[in-house]
A and B are shown apart, each in its own frame.
Chain A
């Protein structure tokens, strides 16, 4: 009962929040000796929220805590304190067993598809694996569903028997996305999911993500170094620095008038070249 009213309060102005992180702290032991009391605060009081069917881009330097936040949200790390409201309940406070029921709804896509996919499984097996683990459907239905997922992300079902090393980098990332979609998650965490790809392939995968968001109503937490891609894909951008969110706002506003020093530094460091995106199609 409390949880339902909580969600209603959060969505005060009529918007529905899928994720609301409040004052999240994650400390790791950092002392040199065993049993030391020194800690490193990877997350130092992070608060953010994502509306349903929108994208929040999380931008920051290496070591700013982006991936730790992703792991906490995905219930793969336990935060030291704070709460993570996902779909109406605080997943940080759930028991291990209860978390197991939440995890399928939050899926991850990692940076390097060649290391995040098991090279000894076929494409079909990779996509069907989450369904096996969650004991969904029988064998035949699983294969059928896995084939449909492959087609959905643009991999021909004819290639379902191929292994990851027979695919190109972009196709492997499509495979990783298909696997993430297998359990029909509500939130997809994209941890540098485009960074390892060529720019023409980045554009293809970015388009796939946009198209999936439009048609399935997915919510994305898009972690990246790339400000330009963040600005393109995201509704809101959050800038992290030393375990804190230093600036959060609508993508356009943040780009037009960055307020925090860290944001300005990141923007200044973003490689850019003039004019090309406005090229007309022909000559």
Chain B
């Protein structure tokens, strides 16, 4: 299986006006295979959104990609000319934004907003565009595509708006869709609906997805593989079942332990204090030597302070960056 998207040793830094440098991504590497769903699990400040923005080279002016390579279908994304980037962005790699109520234009009909994507990327005439828009919307809203197409965003529910964003993202038939917290503002029932939609799309269109989230529950049953991001580094990568059910890295273990379980709820465990990760979240403006999780790690060793842990393979697909595991 040749990877569709390859990220190698990616470094991204933000420079503030005062000259302070913040290392948002520090040597991130991963692959994304065809029609694979990769879940990126990270808390705020771990570099999740920076990752999505760097893959499309949509970083704000203060964000600089300081090193590494991004290869998409063999093409070097970081050295692509602006014209070539335009052909990739929205067309081959598209992005589903976080907040559907903000990402949609409030005074444009849904149909026009989906059509706008096609106008930007595909050499189609008016009739063909209309036709394509209708098809895309019909695939997402089988029951009432016409009514939705004629609506304005404020007339739609949160879930419907999220579907419109999905329509925009798949309108040009991309091979990779990046979704940055796609369900953060939805209630669980609608959330499940959108996740089911992702599953269907992957099967129907052979899409690859990078699903970025802070909620481990979303990834169970949807992602094939999970990458756990901490301080801009991948601390653990592996098949979703093994990372979520038997996490190995101390950070992943601590993170997943914070979530209260729904099952086997006994009187005793209810209202008990939840385990928390002690210590402060990492300060990214100082590039420290050693493991970024070391100050908070319950199992730290002497070596963690001085050396950066390399990724150790536990099995064929499961790697952990921690000195606990002998390489």
Please report the C-alpha to C-alpha distance between residue A233 and residue B273 in the assembled complex, in whole angstroms.
10
Min Cβ gap B305→A in Å is 20
Q: Which residues of B contact A255 (CB under 8 A)?
A: 262, 265
Asked if residues B217 and A279 are in contact (CB atoms below 8 Å), the reply is no
Whether, in the assembled complex, A134 has its beta carbon less than 8 Å from a beta carbon of chain B, the answer is no
Whether, in the assembled complex, A10 has its beta carbon less than 8 Å from a beta carbon of chain B, the answer is no
A271 and B43 in contact, given A200-B276, A255-B265, A277-B259 (Cβ under 8 angstroms): no
Asked if residues A198 and B214 are in contact (CB atoms below 8 Å), the reply is yes
Q: Which residues of B contact A281 (CB under 8 A)?
A: 298
Asked if residues A270 and B217 are in contact (CB atoms below 8 Å), the reply is yes
Q: Which residues of B contact A61 (CB under 8 A)?
A: 187-190
Whether, in the assembled complex, B311 has its beta carbon less than 8 Å from a beta carbon of chain A, the answer is no
Q: Please tell me which one of the listed residues A227, A269, A276, A282 contacts residue B259 in the complex, with CB atoms under 8 A apart.
A: A276
Q: Please tell me which one of the listed residues B158, B253, B254, B267 contacts residue A62 in the complex, with CB atoms under 8 A apart.
A: B158
Min Cβ gap A61→B in Å is 5
Min Cβ gap B290→A in Å is 20
> Which A-chain residue is minimally distant from B259 (CB atoms)?
A199
Q: In the complex, identify which listed stretch (A89-97, A140-148, A204-212) lies at the interface while the others stay far away.
A: A204-212
Please report the C-alpha to C-alpha distance between residue A62 and residue B254 in the assembled complex, in whole angstroms.
31
Min Cβ gap B280→A in Å is 9
Q: Please tell me which one of the listed residues B186, B254, B298 contacts residue A200 in the complex, with CB atoms under 8 A apart.
A: B254
Asked if residues A232 and B274 are in contact (CB atoms below 8 Å), the reply is yes
A271 and B299 in contact, given A168-B281, A199-B214, A228-B261 (Cβ under 8 angstroms): no
Please report the C-alpha to C-alpha distance between residue A227 and residue B299 in the assembled complex, in whole angstroms.
32
Q: Please tell me which one of the listed residues B190, B215, B244, B260 contacts residue A232 in the complex, with CB atoms under 8 A apart.
A: B260
Asked if residues A203 and B274 are in contact (CB atoms below 8 Å), the reply is yes
Min Cβ gap B160→A in Å is 12
Asked if residues A272 and B265 are in contact (CB atoms below 8 Å), the reply is no
Whether, in the assembled complex, A12 has its beta carbon less than 8 Å from a beta carbon of chain B, the answer is no
Q: Which residues of A contact B261 (CB under 8 A)?
A: 228, 272, 276-278
Q: Which residues of A contact B258 (CB under 8 A)?
A: 199-200, 202-203
Q: Name the interface residues of B194-243: CB closer than 8 Å to any CB of A.
A: 214-220
Asked if residues B189 and A265 are in contact (CB atoms below 8 Å), the reply is yes
Please report the C-alpha to C-alpha distance between residue A200 and residue B250 in the assembled complex, in whole angstroms.
14
A251 and B158 in contact, given A270-B262, A271-B191 (Cβ under 8 angstroms): no
Min Cβ gap A115→B in Å is 13
Total number of B residues with any Cβ neighbor in A under 8 Å: 49
Q: Which residues of B contact A201 (CB under 8 A)?
A: 43
Please report the C-alpha to C-alpha distance between residue A266 and residue B189 in the assembled complex, in whole angstroms.
6
Min Cβ gap B322→A in Å is 11
Asked if residues A229 and B276 are in contact (CB atoms below 8 Å), the reply is no
Asked if residues B274 and A272 are in contact (CB atoms below 8 Å), the reply is no
A273 and B273 in contact, given A201-B43, A228-B262, A232-B260 (Cβ under 8 angstroms): no
Q: Please tell me which one of the listed residues A168, A211, A279, A282 contacts residue B256 in the complex, with CB atoms under 8 A apart.
A: A279
Q: Name the interface residues of A253-269: CB closer than 8 Å to any CB of B.
A: 255-256, 265-269
Asked if residues A207 and B262 are in contact (CB atoms below 8 Å), the reply is no
Q: Which residues of B contact A228 (CB under 8 A)?
A: 259-262
Q: Which residues of B contact A268 (CB under 8 A)?
A: 192
Whether, in the assembled complex, A1 has its beta carbon less than 8 Å from a beta carbon of chain B, the answer is no
Min Cβ gap B125→A in Å is 38
Whether, in the assembled complex, B275 has its beta carbon less than 8 Å from a beta carbon of chain A, the answer is yes
Q: Which residues of B contact A278 (CB under 8 A)?
A: 261, 264
> Which A-chain residue is minimally distant from B274 (CB atoms)?
A203
A272 and B217 in contact, given A200-B276, A228-B262, A252-B267 (Cβ under 8 angstroms): yes
Q: A61-B188, A210-B273, A270-B217 are known contacts; what are 12 more A-B pairs with Cβ within 8 Å?
A: A168-B45, A200-B276, A227-B188, A229-B260, A232-B270, A233-B271, A252-B266, A265-B189, A270-B188, A271-B218, A282-B299, A283-B299
